Structure 1
Amino acid sequence: MSDSSIPTKYYSLSKVAASLQSVIRREYSQYYWIKAEIARLNFYPKSGHCYPDLVEKKSGKILAQMRAIIWSRDYFRINAEFVKKTGNALADGMEILFKAKLEFNPTHGFSLMIVDISAEFVLGKMALEKKQNLLRLKQEGLFYRNKELKFPLLPQRIAIISVETSKGFHDFTNIIENNSRGYKFFWMLFPALLQGDGAVQSIQQQLEQIRGLKQHFDLVAIIRGGGGDVGLSCYDHYDLARMVAEFELPIISGIGHSTNETLVEMVAHYNPITPTDLAYFLQQKFDNIAVVVEEMNQKIVDSSKKSLLEKRSYLDELPRRIQRQTLGSISEQKYHIERHSGRLQHKTLMLLQIQESNIERYWEITKRLIKQKLDVAPNDLSDKSRRLQRASKAILDNQYSGMNFFEGKIELMKPENLLKKGYSLTLFKGKPIKDVKSLKLGDIIQTRLNKGELESSITKIGK
């Protein structure tokens, strides 16, 4: 660039900045209510100052972006009021309506000086979103789905979604574990974030864990302490409410003391509000069964007593009934016996008369037969007598001949006749010796011969 091309009139940066500062002070001298999203809060605890980065988006595209300042004296006042009304501190990603004044500093540039933030705007925006989500759940037929599940008769196995450090969790477990009636509960903690941006995803992840173990549980309990509406805003999230509505197990909620019921509480099977109420609700289920069992037990006892009294009365009456029935039966049988006895007596007399008639007839026949036999008998007797005499003589002769034969044999077998033939008879203690086993060495034995006797001492015994 040549020297002739250098502008003769130009402005210094400080003059431009001062001019801008003057225009902004003059044209934007008042405070304005502005809507924007906090991209980053940029709070510095050491100084207490806050420098939010603010954006406006449409369809994910940034339309405008500015830097803001909240001095420490204003930040602590604004945040305390915001927490009091919403239950949550200012945070990244939150859409806010704030009161600010436009300022320009030649050194630090343009900024929005925030002096107030509307908590009501945040709550109203959340209420509108909640209303739209509620209508969507009803239109999709999901609002009553979890409520329509059959609640377990004895809700004993509980999957708890909470934080171990939560007071509500400790209140709940303390009541169910230390109940005065000794009811036994089994519970398992599935820890999750209970508020903030990460709460929705954290609770959904734990519900998925429980879904894989659903056969081990009777129900799911979502337990949280108290909090404001913003602190509970995650429970108005459509995706979380839908998952609760479609879950396969009954879900009961004890999210806190808020009077503004969240979508999750609305679609849950039962919502007793506080963790304490939730614990007593489960205990009441056991009480209801205990009452029924006690009533049934009393009915059984009463029925048994009534039955025993009836049986006792029956047993007391039974001997008399048996006696009456026995006497009646005896009288009836006696009547039948007497009636049949008369018939039997009549038939017996008839039979005796018939038999007597038969005997007389047979006797006449027998007498005729005997007479006929007696007429023939003399001749038969003479003939049979002669034949009997001959047979008897033959038998006697035969017997006599046999006796003579055996007499001769007996004579030969006499000891003295055997001794005459050279045999000897050996005796021990006067008795014939039949076996050497009855003798021992040194025994004295006698030997009898035809003429004389010998006495010997045993010196050897052979087998």
Structure 2
Amino acid sequence: MTKALTLYDLNSLVADVIDTALTRAYWVEAELSEVRENRGHCYMELIEKDDTGNVPIARASAKCWRNVWSAISPYFVRITGQQIHAGMKVMLQVHAQFHPQYGFSWIVDDINPEFTMGDMLRKRRDIVRRLQAEGVFDLQKGLRLSLFAQRIAVISSETAAGYGDFCSQLETNEYGFRFRVEIFPAVMQGEQVEQSIIAALDSINERESEFDAVVIIRGGGATADLSGFDTLELAENVANFPLPVITGIGHERDESVLDMVSFLRVKTPTAAAAFLIDQLSVTLGRIERAQTAIADGVRRKMEAEKMRIRHLESHIPVLFSVVRAKEEARLERLSRNLSEKTAELLHRSYYRLDLLGQRLRSGLKIRLSAEGHRLDMLDQRLHLLDPSLLLERGYSITLYKGRAVRSAAELEEGEVITTRFATGEADSRIEHRRQSSM
């Protein structure tokens, strides 16, 4: 029966083979899918993707021990301006190590920062070309910052020293300008930079009318790990933002894509504050110059008007005499016309009154003659109705209580009535009355 090896013995054999076969170090290009530090050591997960850039076709683990990492990490940051992080492409110098207890690993001896710089530049150029193709790369440059930009939305970490410096610079400006600053907190370092800043921009966009500009500041922390500011989505959001966006994310070596698409890029948060102060000071200067120009213009106009008034004053007597002569002549003409018109009107009125008088006299005569004839007719009729004529013709009138009796029904038996004749009267008492059947 064949004797089996223990796992440790087998791993020791593999270690001996690797130590014998892979005796030198190798430079390898890979993408970091995970990076973590523990007790000064750096642990990395390496991947290689297919041509589409989506599916990993190779994986491996790598370690960089503390004594090496403490030397190469600061140098990498100094050259690239960024901490090593997931998603970054790197060129590593590694040698193989197989430990019987912990298995196989690639041990990192060195990192080439120039390779990473080249990859970063390639990515940055690709993003810039994409933005230019979309026609949004220069949109921010076409915006106009308000001459009175005092309402500022700030995207920064609330605890960042740069934010405090920015506010202090605005509050203590030599002109006494007052700014209204509102912070929209965001993560300014690490993998959450992109989405955090986009969320802050969305919040500001909902209140766009309340602000004049947006300032993105980062200073006060480490100058490394700026990859979050070199993303397509963040650049598109800033490029399309309706308000001017000023960036001061605290690095001088080169521009991030965010800096390129912004309205203005300054080096530091205090430089952003200084720009806003200078902007208002320029506006103040323009206002003061305009005030001076207006005052000078008014002064010159007043002097010209004073000279014109003095000139008019010297000509007033002459002008007045000319005007008076003209007005007197005009009044005389009007007076003559008035007299002529009045005389003509009176003559016409007298003639009209004479005609009316003649018509009135003729009409009165005719009316009086007609009325006289009517009175004669009435007199004749009245004469014919005289009761004495009836009495003389043999008629009599019966009176009861001073009134003529027309019906027997008006009388009561035993009443006294008076009968009037042409000559004299006679009283009688009613013994019996009867009414005619007619």
- Structure 1 Cα separation of the partners of residues 284 and 11 of structure 2: 82
Within a 5 Å distance, the mapping from 1:227-242 to structure 2 comes to 231-242=225-236
Contact 1:227–1:257 (CA<8 Å) still a contact in 2? no
- Structure 2 Cα separation of the partners of residues 65 and 313 of structure 1: 95
Q: Following TM superposition, by how much is the alpha carbon of 1:20 offset from its aligned partner in structure 2, in angstroms? A: 1.9
Q: Following TM superposition, by how much is the alpha carbon of 1:121 offset from its aligned partner in structure 2, in angstroms? A: 2.0
Contact 1:38–1:52 (CA<8 Å) still a contact in 2? yes
Q: Following TM superposition, by how much is the alpha carbon of 1:209 offset from its aligned partner in structure 2, in angstroms? A: 0.5
Q: Following TM superposition, by how much is the alpha carbon of 1:278 offset from its aligned partner in structure 2, in angstroms? A: 2.0
- Structure 1 Cα separation of the partners of residues 262 and 225 of structure 2: 19
- DSSP-derived class of the 1:82 partner: helix
Q: Following TM superposition, by how much is the alpha carbon of 1:135 offset from its aligned partner in structure 2, in angstroms? A: 0.4
Q: Following TM superposition, by how much is the alpha carbon of 1:263 offset from its aligned partner in structure 2, in angstroms? A: 1.3
Within a 5 Å distance, the mapping from 1:202-351 to structure 2 comes to 202-225=196-219, 231-328=225-322
**Sequence identity percentage:** 33
Q: Following TM superposition, by how much is the alpha carbon of 1:79 offset from its aligned partner in structure 2, in angstroms? A: 1.8
- DSSP-derived class of the 2:145 partner: coil
- DSSP-derived class of the 1:30 partner: coil
Compared with structure 1, are the counterparts of its residues 70 and 303 closer, same or farther at alpha carbon in structure 2 (3 Å cutoff)?
closer
Instruction: Tell me the equivalent position of 1:411.
Output: none
Within a 5 Å distance, the mapping from 1:403-442 to structure 2 comes to none
How many residue pairs match? The answer is: 331
Query: For each residue in 1:252-296, what CA deviation from the matched residue of structure 2 results, as whole angstroms up to 9, or x when unmatched?
Result: 212223231111111112223332232222222222222222122
Query: For each residue in 1:365-419, what CA deviation from the matched residue of structure 2 results, as whole angstroms up to 9, or x when unmatched?
Result: xxxxxxxxxxxxxxxxxxxxxxxxxxxxxxxxxxxxxxxxxxxxxxxxxxxxxxx
Within a 5 Å distance, the mapping from 1:11-160 to structure 2 comes to 11-45=5-39, 48-58=40-50, 59-160=53-154
Q: Following TM superposition, by how much is the alpha carbon of 1:178 offset from its aligned partner in structure 2, in angstroms? A: 1.5
- DSSP-derived class of the 1:187 partner: strand
Compared with structure 1, are the counterparts of its residues 250 and 50 closer, same or farther at alpha carbon in structure 2 (3 Å cutoff)?
closer
Query: For each residue in 1:66-122, what CA deviation from the matched residue of structure 2 results, as whole angstroms up to 9, or x when unmatched?
Result: 333322211211222222223333334443221111122223322212111222222
Contact 2:62–2:106 (CA<8 Å) still a contact in 1? yes
Query: For each residue in 1:45-78, what CA deviation from the matched residue of structure 2 results, as whole angstroms up to 9, or x when unmatched?
Result: 2xx3344343334454443333333222112112
- Structure 2 Cα separation of the partners of residues 163 and 322 of structure 1: 77
- Structure 2 Cα separation of the partners of residues 332 and 44 of structure 1: 112
- Structure 1 Cα separation of the partners of residues 294 and 9 of structure 2: 102
**Which AA in structure 2 matches 1:130?**
R
Q: Following TM superposition, by how much is the alpha carbon of 1:15 offset from its aligned partner in structure 2, in angstroms? A: 4.3
Query: For each residue in 1:195-228, what CA deviation from the matched residue of structure 2 results, as whole angstroms up to 9, or x when unmatched?
Result: 2211000000000101111111111111122788
- Structure 2 Cα separation of the partners of residues 333 and 116 of structure 1: 112
- DSSP-derived class of the 2:37 partner: coil
Q: Following TM superposition, by how much is the alpha carbon of 1:240 offset from its aligned partner in structure 2, in angstroms? A: 0.3
When normalised by structure 2's length, the TM-score is 0.68
Contact 2:83–2:225 (CA<8 Å) still a contact in 1? no
Compared with structure 1, are the counterparts of its residues 333 and 299 closer, same or farther at alpha carbon in structure 2 (3 Å cutoff)?
same
Contact 1:123–1:229 (CA<8 Å) still a contact in 2? no
- DSSP-derived class of the 2:305 partner: helix
Contact 2:160–2:221 (CA<8 Å) still a contact in 1? no
**Which AA in structure 1 matches 2:245?**
I
In structure 2, runs of 5+ residues without a counterpart are: 337-438
**Which AA in structure 2 matches 1:52?**
M
> Greater CA radius of gyration, 1 or 2?
1
In structure 1, runs of 5+ residues without a counterpart are: 1-6, 345-463
Counterpart of 2:179 (choices 165, 170, 185) is: 185
